[in-house]
A and B are shown apart, each in its own frame.
Chain A
């Protein structure tokens, strides 16, 4: 049985007919072609599927689209403005805070939220807000630098 779901994704409204079990990750990737959010663990542990749902980080792999009816969703593709990059995107590049790039969209969105809540984050705040994003290439030291740089620290 299909449900009618309205989502405002990166500022644009979409109305979709979806099975109840469709995840937010499936919606953004398969229905909307926004493939920046990645499937990493299927268990909302790794953070690769992070999107901002009504402004807060959510693991899209474990969020049902029907539960997000009427919500605002920001994916990595919605960051920056045309050719211009968001300061976090610039900082990640400058600091070498990525290698394979698979965790990067999720990390940048999680960091965006961190900086909104804590504009000058302490080490402890960085650990708390970014501890749920895994990076197997091991860019954590550079990611910390990039977040500080974007925060003007």
Chain B
């Protein structure tokens, strides 16, 4: 099937927020803090207003004097403000903004704004931030009202920089360590990285004459943004419209409010629609992926059975909580890895520092924990003389295994993923081999488990028009993952009509029913199911109409090949609707809703309505003289439940794995005393076509889930997570050195080899 968005995208006519025009549109630019931490003692924008072409300037004075605005917001804690009110907390923190007729005038105006700071000592990393007497990033933190159900009871520790401390206790680790025959301890680390979606963040905000707020934004969750804007500007939710066009990539960087509150405030001041488009360096200052240090202590039996595991994860959440608390919680919950371990203790801390905020990133904290766990699994296997694949298979979760929350896991194709990924790279033929030119080859494997936001809500509506064509209303945002086509195809299949007759209206809160978010790889399962239910509702209503109009039992009415059928009769849709309405018109709407609680037994608590499991296997070639490595072959195997669109599944598997390779080998957002050093795409290195391995295999394992549409679960994030540890394991296999800190650069391998030679 041809994807519905493809034709426009290859022609260059697909509309993204930067392409949108509107009468009266003017340009917004943001003045950002140049220091990592300080009190804002003075902001004076008078000079800016003297620049020709400038329409308005926004400072904290506008926010603090206007009773109609609560400038504080955030998905979990209200620790962010539209512009800095008392302090700036990171380099890049917004301090003021201007709206002007053109960008040049806006930029000149920014230079005329006077800002004075009383610079404060800063906490540049987690170590600084946790020192007793460390500078506090936030003196006091407020909860956001009506917060997410899964985050109740997650609070910052006042008087410290600890934003969240998630604790998991399962069994008794001390007893487990006593029962163990060997104990292994190690620390692993990953730096701050960035999503680097090719489309930078952008937003158009307009305030209509009656006070209604209209926002077009590159956002993954328009409904959450709508709620936050309603809270900030103190208007009913129905008087806020947030609409998302196609996104040029998201990967978690475009969830929760980013530019929208500021754009709306500026549009209010300017009394004109304002468009703010970030430059590339600003994107690096807006949202990042959590840097982490993970300490793991594992107790095992000599035969490789896992007995006890203790993890301490320190996540650098930057200056604002954003969704950091959930990252700590979700990654903490699966931190011990996809294994049956009787005793588990996890402490996952999200810690405030004076750096740009960290938030959701494809994998949501699990790539951090998997980096540690899957690296250590291999170190343990080697020490015990056990094949790393065998050790994983021996301990892996299976159907019915008890999870660390006490619930039973179902629909878990983990072993199949491991076996198939391993087979794809010829795991059985592992033998140390030097290739021509002295390079060494090695193979590595890694696996994972991750959950999805639970509980959550998705609703869809299908409107039938008189000619039998369908409009599908969904809050799911098309950001490249193919949701538009996938959901349309589910509707078409259920309704028995050709895909061409389905038009999708997506991501506009004025029009579509509620959807929590396009993230957490949840849309196929939740929205796909909602679409199925909406289709069935529509068919039920149509069946009743046909029954009434033609005097046949509703149960005998069928919809297939684009027509309405009963007994020996075949009718066109327009005939049925004309008979019903007496004209070529009328509206029939089918609705479907998925609330997680409806999918489980009443009162049953569960951490995730379904689980993502998968594995990655890699063959690398290492040059022992330079430390450079090349990926020869990579296989990603993910249990998707049902591969509804096989080409789409392949895209998600290889696409996520390629980003995983970037994270493993090249990517690092470096800071020097809180100042990003490489916030551009020359010095922040992304994988290019030239870096591709010779072959990549995408394997979909299908263990169906009873509640998913056609048994499907989810796919978007899973294949990213095992890449880095699989590569590190392959490097150890090839040249015998263990790299514990990402990115896995040639320098690190080179110096590790040097050290190993010196020891020998």
Contacts and interface: CB of A to CB of B under 8 A. Distances in A.
Contact of B12 (A41, A76, A134): A76
A36 B11 contact: yes
Interface stretch (B191-199, B374-382, B555-563): B191-199
A40 B246 CA distance: 16
B689 A137 contact: no
B10 to A, nearest CB: 4
B497 interface: no
Interface in A110-147: 126-128, 130-144
Most buried by B among A29, A77, A101, A140: A101
A82 to B, nearest CB: 11
A151 interface: no
Nearest to B695: A141
Contacts of B493: none
A36 B15 CA distance: 9
A26 B110 CA distance: 21
A127 B688 CA distance: 9
Contact of A34 (B12, B246, B656, B688): B12
Contacts of A140: 658, 687-689, 692
B12 A136 contact: no
Contacts of A40: 198-200, 280, 681
Interface stretch (A1-9, A65-73, A91-99): A91-99
A108 to B, nearest CB: 7
Given A99-B651, A102-B16, A133 B689 contact: yes
B279 A36 contact: no
Contacts of B9: 98, 101, 104
A88 to B, nearest CB: 8
B689 A144 contact: yes
Nearest to A40: B198
A84 to B, nearest CB: 11
A100 interface: yes
A127 B198 contact: no
A96 B650 contact: yes
B643 interface: no
B198 A136 contact: yes
B12 A48 contact: no
Given A96-B651, A104-B10, A142-B651, A38 B199 contact: yes
B682 A96 contact: no
B686 interface: yes
A37 B656 CA distance: 25
A38 B198 contact: yes
Interface in A4-22: none
A39 B16 CA distance: 12
B13 A136 contact: no
Contacts of B18: 35, 38-39
B480 A137 contact: yes
B681 A101 contact: no
Nearest to B692: A140
B7 interface: yes
Interface string B2-20: 1101111111111110110
Contacts of A108: 10
A59 B280 CA distance: 16
A57 interface: no
Contacts of A139: 651, 655
Classify the interface of chain A: helix, strand, loop or mixed: loop
Nearest to B719: A138
Interface string A28-57: 010000111111111101101000000000
A141 B692 contact: yes
Contacts of A143: 689
B690 interface: yes
B279 A102 contact: no
A108 B696 CA distance: 22
Given A93-B6, A104-B9, A141-B696, A136 B280 contact: no
B248 A102 contact: yes
B395 interface: no
A51 to B, nearest CB: 11
B655 A126 contact: no
Nearest to A35: B19
A98 B10 contact: yes
28 contacts: A35-B19, A38-B199, A39-B18, A39-B277, A40-B198, A40-B681, A41-B681, A41-B682, A42-B280, A77-B12, A93-B3, A93-B7, A99-B481, A100-B198, A100-B247, A101-B5, A101-B6, A101-B9, A102-B16, A104-B12, A108-B10, A127-B690, A134-B688, A135-B689, A136-B196, A137-B655, A138-B657, A140-B658
Interface of A: 29, 34-43, 45-46, 48, 75-77, 79-80, 85, 89, 92-93, 96, 98-105, 108, 126-128, 130-144
Given A96-B648, A134-B688, 18 more contacts: A29-B19, A38-B198, A43-B681, A43-B682, A45-B681, A93-B3, A93-B6, A101-B480, A104-B12, A105-B12, A127-B690, A128-B690, A131-B689, A136-B196, A136-B198, A140-B658, A140-B687, A144-B689
